[in-house]
Amino acid sequence: MSIEEINNISFQIISYAGDGKCDCLEAVEEAKEGNFEQAEQLLAKAEESINKAHEVHTQLLVEEARNPGIQPTIMFVHASNHLAIAEWAIEDCRMKIDIYRLIKSK
């Protein structure tokens, strides 16, 4: 696998993960306003994007398992960081939305 191919995969990961992370943040903003239905829709959309990022990321791991010796690029490391942040964002934002739900129901 060439450097260009690895970087192309990295850009896809960054794009999907970044898009999903932003949906998570918007979901919390909606929950803050009491719009829980919109918040849930945004979380569902975020999950879809982050799953796509995860799938693309896994492709590369599978490729490495098949052909050991692939050299990771700096951009791939950067993309993995974006994915990790997005995966945490969805869990964190879900908790925050639950807290808003609790506050608003009082």
Partner 1 sequence: MYNIILVCEHGASTSAMVTKMRAAAEQLGEDCEINAYSYSKMDELIDSADIVLLGPQVRFKKKTFEQKYADKNVEFVLIDPVDFGTMNGEKVVKMALEHLKQ
Task: Catalog residues that contact partner 1 under the rule CB under 8 A.
Answer: 7-8, 10-12, 14-19, 21-22, 25-26, 49, 75, 78-79, 82
Nearest to 82 by CA among 22, 30, 28: 22
Question: Minimum CB separation from partner 1 for residue 33, in Å?
Answer: 13
Q: Tell me whether residue 75 is exposed, middle or buried, using C-beta atoms within 10 angstroms of its C-beta: 0 to 12, 13 to 18, 19 or more.
A: middle
- C-beta of 45 vs 63, nearer to partner 1: 45
Asked if 78 is an active-site residue, the reply is yes
Cβ atoms < 10 Å from Cβ of 92: 14
Please state the closest distance from residue 68 (CB atom) to partner 1, in A: 27
Q: Mind telling me the catalytic residues?
A: 78
